[in-house]
């Protein structure tokens, strides 16, 4: 059980982050949900998860594109035994046309945020004598695809950062690992379907089959629940010596 632990999950009002938050709450952890919005429905979502699992769930708005806001999120959480760096966005464009603003945003949200939250969370983990850093990277942290230069750069960076954090905490009861999913059907991927179709000049159905799942030999999307299961494993005692590594859930993508 994770009761007594506080988990902070960045970018968790949707998709994979929300799935991980629900799974951690189910195991008894107190949960901090986050995104950049501060809507009634964000706070209602926290109340719903709290009711479902009988644990404390707070929603704290913070923009993961802003380094100080990342650090403030951890400070406001008060404790952070489990840090899940999940917030992420995708922008698809050839590198010579890649808008500079979009590049900076992808790098800030997908990579720099994990630096800031980890820097703020490690002292809290050390004080508690236990900690887990779970970075939601990607198969694109290990392999590349055209038109995703900022995303591939950021995710490779996160995989590298994960290894350094593992080494700096190696003698403590703290681990740092990265989950590397292939394609999971979430709003992030749904939004890429029209972009991909346009980029390749094909229909949306063809974009799914021939481009998006091209590299995923299983030809099946990964599920949010499967990713949440890996996060729970990384938080368990069985994973105490699993540190500085990646766990892929990609239907065979990175075996190629």
Which residues are designated catalytic? 151
Helix ranges (DSSP H) in the chain: 15-26, 40-53, 67-77, 100-107, 113-128, 149-168, 187-200, 204-206, 224-235
| Residue list 124-153, contact with ligand NAD (CB under 6 A) | 136, 138
Task: Please choose, out of 33-41, 46-54, 166-174, 202-210, the segment that lies near ligand NAD by the rule CB under 6 A.
Answer: 33-41
Residue 187 binds ligand NAD, judged by CB under 6 A: yes
- Judged by CB under 6 A, the residue of 35, 112, 117, 216 near ligand NAD is 35
Strand 30-33 versus strand 246-249 pairing type: unpaired
CB 234, min distance to ligand NAD, A: 15
Residue 36 binds ligand NAD, judged by CB under 6 A: yes
Give percent helix, percent strand, percent coil of the chain, each to the nearest 5: 50, 15, 35
- Judged by CB under 6 A, the residue of 86, 149, 162, 216 near ligand NAD is 86
Beta carbon nearer to ligand NAD, 130 or 199 = 199
Residue 178 binds ligand NAD, judged by CB under 6 A: no
Residue 189 binds ligand NAD, judged by CB under 6 A: yes
User: In the block, which residue shows the tokens 């979430």?
Assistant: 186
- Judged by CB under 6 A, the residue of 14, 50, 226, 245 near ligand NAD is 14
- 175 vs 192: CA distance, rounded Å: 33
- 56 vs 37: CA distance, rounded Å: 20
CB 2, min distance to ligand NAD, A: 21
Task: Please choose, out of 41-49, 57-65, 166-174, 237-245, the segment that lies near ligand NAD by the rule CB under 6 A.
Answer: 57-65
- Judged by CB under 6 A, the residue of 102, 107, 128, 188 near ligand NAD is 188
3-state secondary structure of 223: coil
Strand order in the sheet with 246-249: 57-59, 30-33, 6-9, 82-85, 131-136, 174-181, 246-249
Please compute, for residue 27, the number of CA atoms within 13 A of its CA located in the half-sphere on the CB side.
21
Residue positions counted in the chain? 256
58 touches 73 (CB < 8 A): no
- Judged by CB under 6 A, the residue of 131, 157, 181, 244 near ligand NAD is 181
Two structure tokens written together for 108? 């800030």
DSSP code of residue 148: B
Beta carbon nearer to ligand NAD, 128 or 211 = 211
Residue 120 binds ligand NAD, judged by CB under 6 A: no
The rounded radius of gyration (Å) of the Cα atoms in the chain is 18
Residue 65 binds ligand NAD, judged by CB under 6 A: yes
Residues that bind ligand NAD (CB under 6 A): 11-17, 34-36, 63-65, 86-89, 109-110, 136, 138, 181, 183-184, 186-189
């Amino acid at each position: 059980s994770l009761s007594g632990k506080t988990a902070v999950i960045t970018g968790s009002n949707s998709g994979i982050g929300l799935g991980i938050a629900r799974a951690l709450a189910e195991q008894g952890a107190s949960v901090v949900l986050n995104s950049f919005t501060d809507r009634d429905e964000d706070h209602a979502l926290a109340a719903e998860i709290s009711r479902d699992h009988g644990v404390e769930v707070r929603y704290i708005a913070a923009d993961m594109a802003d380094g100080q806001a990342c650090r403030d999120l951890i400070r406001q959480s008060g404790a952070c035994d489990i840090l899940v760096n999940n917030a992420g966005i995708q922008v698809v464009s050839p590198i010579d046309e890649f808008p500079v603003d979009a590049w900076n945003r992808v790098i800030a949200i997908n990579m720099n945020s994990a630096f800031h939250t980890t820097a703020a969370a490690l002292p809290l983990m050390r004080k508690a004598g236990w900690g887990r850093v779970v970075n939601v990277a990607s198969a694109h942290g290990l392999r590349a695809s055209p038109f995703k230069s900022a995303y591939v750069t950021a995710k490779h960076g996160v995989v590298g950062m994960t290894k350094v954090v593992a080494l700096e905490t190696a003698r403590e009861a703290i681990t740092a690992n990265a989950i590397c999913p292939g394609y999971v059907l979430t709003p992030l991927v749904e939004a890429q379907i029209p972009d991909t179709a346009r980029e390749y000049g094909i229909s949306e159905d063809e974009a799914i089959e021939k481009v998006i799942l091209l590299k995923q030999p299983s030809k099946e999307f990964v599920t949010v629940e499967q990713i949440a299961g890996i996060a729970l494993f990384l938080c368990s005692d069985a994973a105490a010596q699993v540190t500085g590594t990646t766990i892929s859930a990609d239907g065979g993508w990175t075996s190629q």
